[in-house]
A and B are shown apart, each in its own frame.
Chain A
Amino acid sequence: MAKSLLIISRQSPWSGPSAREALDIALAGGAFDLPLGMLFLDDGVLQLLPSQSASLLQQKDITANLQALSMFGVEDLFACHTSLAERGMLPNELSIEPLHVLRDQEIAALIDRYDQVITL
């Protein structure tokens, strides 16, 4: 049985390539049909804000690729409730779905469920 991998993405999409490079790990794994999950934590939840205009900064918009996750078979998507609340974000106003919003102890349980984890 394939080992499962949880990718925890903690950076804003505006702070450099980290958000993009976390997503690339997920998309590559999805392309190989591997069991993956992705958790948005801390500033990572900023990737989930709707109505972003990356082109105004001459950057590629990450939203389309986030929405492509499910097409690549990566359907286990999670966001941290505390991180959302800290940033004034509401769970029902996020740009991708379905997405499970988790409390802190649920995140501990989530990490436990996966064989490996990468936090970037």
Chain B
Amino acid sequence: MSTLHVLSHSPFADSRLSSCLRVLGHEDAILLCGDATYAVTASTAARQALDAKADSLKLFILEEDAKARNLVLPDWVSRVDYPGFVELSVQYDKVNTWL
């Protein structure tokens, strides 16, 4: 079983990303959207935490949020649009949004 975790809270003000990374399964993926996209910002603790999992974690980012914020993305992050988001929700067994 594999879960797509969806995060939208800023990683700087909030513990959802760190809690998510703690309980992440080996087959799981993360989709960053909203202010959670800031987690890819270089030289931040959030980015370091993600980089530490780069070998095993499939990381996706909602393209419109990354573009709106003019973020520079690491090459191991995959951008998705809404059709891509729907495809991910089909591909993974379930979706866990950290509300």
Contacts and interface: CB of A to CB of B under 8 A. Distances in A.
The answer to whether A and B touch directly, with their CB atoms under 8 angstroms apart, is yes
Interface of A: 8, 10, 41-42, 80, 82-83, 104-105, 107-109, 111-120
B56 to A, nearest CB: 12
Given A42-B15, A111-B3, A112-B3, A104 B96 contact: no
Given A42-B15, A42-B19, A120-B99, A115 B25 contact: no
A89 B25 CA distance: 26
A118 B3 CA distance: 12
Contact of A111 (B15, B23, B97): B23
A108 B25 contact: yes
Given A82-B22, A104-B23, A109-B25, 12 more contacts: A10-B98, A80-B23, A107-B22, A108-B24, A108-B25, A108-B26, A111-B96, A116-B94, A117-B94, A117-B96, A118-B99, A120-B99
Nearest to A3: B94
A17 B49 CA distance: 31
Contacts of A118: 99
B98 A119 contact: yes
Nearest to B98: A119
B1 interface: yes
28 contacts: A8-B96, A10-B19, A41-B19, A41-B23, A42-B15, A82-B22, A83-B19, A104-B22, A104-B23, A107-B22, A107-B23, A108-B23, A108-B24, A108-B25, A108-B26, A109-B25, A111-B23, A111-B25, A112-B3, A112-B25, A115-B94, A117-B3, A117-B94, A118-B99, A119-B96, A119-B97, A119-B98, A120-B99
